[in-house]
């Protein structure tokens, strides 16, 4: 019985989202002949708005698209974000060029990934119910009672992962305390190439609105995304509806504390075809991403669902897929390949999850915490960049990490003071 995966081994990918489709592409490119993606929906579904595909320097997945040879197809569709304007209560905190890469509608990205696969790679309408590891194989059980055997199963079935729940029942999703409203309007409303980030805060109330353009196969879509804190969990279903009325109190707060709202932003809200309202959930850290039997591995949101405030969730899923395919193709036992993948990706993803939650706290902070954040954030960003260039490298990186640690401690202290002041 071989413990090494061959090019003719049967590999199942559960979930045809961005992570699963990226992995299928990467494996087929490496020469794996029997890769099957199982997707529960009868057709590929549209999910939310657009996402940035950032360069490697920003922790993004542009290198993955380049390795797959798909970057030109994405570039042909998507506009590139070139600059960021960061404001707090209408005061400009920073305005600088930034390379966030192309910004593409998820639907378009999924379409490009799907089109590049061999025909019949994706089985639609096949929902997984559970699995059993049997020696060197894994039996997948689908709705309707159908079973199929595989040599390796990769769970890319997202935040509500069936596989992850079976492996680690105590590490499910938890409400992060944030709610996100997304307004998407077809057309060009805002200045091109801009990432607009406005933190609005008053006594005991705050939110951040981020606006950015992206594009799908049907042209440009401008999006305005509002983040607020919430005590009660809200639905995280992708088609969960909000209303334009939900946005009105936020625009009123903007008028009260930020001297009004840019007319193009009002237009995006007014012209948006629908408003999504999502409760934001995260996964707690799991003991491992690999099953006890060593034939099932987690990837993407199934492994490390994170708050979206750094825009790195889908990109991390793509980076996971790239790393997993690279380890599988190396001449090494399967167990070593999976362990090398987990070692490479688990720590960084968990760190991003923590940082994304912290970013959520920052963008929804008010009172003392908002004053602390907004006076220091840009300074910390600049020092962080400068310290990172110091040599020896370990010294620069340690100094940069210490700076961030101090900044975070200070922020949490100011949040505790807020809790006393505004109780």
Q: For ligand FAD, which is the closer residue by CB, 159 or 339?
A: 159
* Cβ-based nearer residue to ligand FAD, 110 or 418: 110
b/e per residue, 66-95, with b = 16+ CB within 10 A? ebbebbebbbebbbebeebbbbbbeeebee
Whichever of 89 and 315 has its CB closer to ligand FAD, that residue is 315
Tell me whether residue 308 or residue 367 sits nearer to ligand FAD (CB atom): 308
- Rounded Cα gap, residues 314 and 36, in angstroms: 20
CB of 318 to ligand FAD, least distance (A): 8
Q: What is the pairing mode between strands 10-14 and 103-105?
A: unpaired
What is the DSSP annotation of 154-198? EE---TT-HHHHHH-TTS-EEEEEEEEEEEEEES--SPTTEEEEE
Residue closer to ligand FAD by CB (options 79, 300) is 300
* Alpha-carbon gap, residue 293 to 163, rounded angstroms: 13
Q: Nearer to ligand FAD by C-beta: 242 or 367?
A: 242
328 alpha carbon, distance to own chain's centre: 24
Least spacing, CB of residue 238 vs ligand FAD, in Å: 8
* Whether 74 contacts 102, CB under 8 Å: yes
CB-based contacts of 419: which residues, under 8 Å, 6+ apart? none
List residues binding ligand FAD (CB under 6 A): 14-20, 38-41, 48, 51, 127-128, 156-159, 162, 180, 278, 300-302, 308, 311-315, 317
Least Å distance between CB 280 and ligand FAD? Answer: 6
Say which DSSP state 68 is in: H
For the bound state, the minimum distance from the C-beta of residue 412 to ligand FAD, rounded and expressed in Å, comes to 25
Measured from the CB atom, the residue of 52 and 374 that comes closer to ligand FAD is 52
What's the closest the beta carbon of residue 198 comes to ligand FAD, in angstroms? 17
Minimum distance, C-beta of residue 142 to ligand FAD, in the bound complex (Å): 8
Strand partners for 97: 83
The nearest distance, CB 85 to ligand FAD, in angstroms, is: 18
Q: Least CB distance from residue 105 to ligand FAD, whole Å?
A: 11
Q: What is the distance between the alpha carbons of residues 398 and 414, in angstroms, rounded to a whole number?
A: 24
> DSSP characters for 272-326?
-S-EEEEEEEEEPPPS-SB-TTSSEEE-THHHH---GGGS-HHHHHHHHHHHHHH
- Least distance (Å) from ligand FAD to the CB of residue 128? 4
Nearest-angstrom CA–CA distance, 52 and 80: 8
Closer Cβ to ligand FAD, 16 or 367, answer by number: 16
Neighbours of 331 (CB within 10 A): 6
The smaller minimum CB distance to ligand FAD, of residues 319 and 337, is found at 319
Token pair of 405 as six digits: 């640690």
Beta carbons of 337 and 5 less than 8 angstroms apart: yes
Name the closest residue to ligand FAD (Cβ): 17
């Amino acid at each position: 019985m071989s413990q090494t995966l061959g090019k003719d081994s049967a590999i199942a990918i559960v979930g045809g989202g961005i992570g699963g489709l990226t992995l299928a592409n990467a494996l087929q490119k490496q020469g794996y002949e029997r890769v099957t993606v199982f997707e529960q929906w009868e057709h590929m579904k549209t999910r939310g708005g657009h996402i940035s595909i950032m360069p490697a320097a920003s922790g993004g997945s542009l290198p993955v698209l380049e390795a797959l040879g798909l970057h030109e197809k994405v570039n042909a569709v998507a506009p590139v974000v070139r600059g960021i304007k960061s404001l707090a209560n209408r005061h400009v905190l920073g305005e600088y060029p930034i390379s966030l890469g192309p910004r593409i509608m998820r639907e378009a990205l999924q379409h490009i990934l799907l089109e590049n696969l061999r025909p019949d790679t994706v089985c639609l309408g096949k929902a997984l119910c559970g699995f059993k590891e049997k020696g060197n194989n894994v039996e997948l059980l689908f709705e309707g009672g159908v079973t199929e055997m595989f040599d390796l199963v990769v769970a890319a079935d997202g935040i509500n992962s069936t596989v992850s729940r079976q492996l680690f029942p105590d590490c499910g999703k938890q409400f992060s305390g944030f709610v996100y409203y997304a307004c998407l309007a077809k057309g060009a409303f805002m200045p091109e190439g801009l990432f607009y980030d406005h933190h609005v805060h008053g006594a005991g109330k705050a939110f951040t609105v981020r606006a950015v353009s992206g594009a799908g196969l049907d042209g440009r879509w401008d999006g305005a995304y509002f983040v607020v804190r919430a005590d009660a969990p809200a639905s995280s279903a992708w088609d969960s509806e909000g209303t334009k009325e939900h946005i009105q109190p936020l625009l009123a707060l903007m008028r009260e504390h930020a001297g009004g709202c840019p007319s193009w932003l009002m237009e995006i809200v007014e012209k948006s075809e629908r408003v999504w309202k999502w409760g934001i959930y995260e996964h707690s850290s799991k003991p491992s991403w690999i099953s006890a039997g060593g034939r099932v591995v987690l990837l993407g949101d199934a492994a490390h669902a994170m708050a979206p405030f750094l825009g790195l969730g889908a990109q991390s899923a793509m980076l996971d897929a790239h790393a997993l395919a690279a380890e599988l193709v190396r001449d090494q036992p399967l167990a070593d390949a999976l362990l090398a993948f987990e070692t490479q990706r688990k720590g960084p993803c968990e760190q991003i999850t923590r940082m994304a939650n912290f970013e959520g706290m920052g963008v929804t902070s008010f009172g003392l915490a908002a004053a602390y954040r907004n006076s220091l954030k840009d300074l910390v960003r600049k020092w962080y960049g400068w310290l990172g260039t110091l040599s020896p490298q370990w010294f620069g990186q340690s100094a940069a990490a210490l700076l961030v640690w101090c900044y975070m401690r200070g922020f949490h202290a100011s949040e505790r003071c807020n809790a006393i002041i505004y109780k």
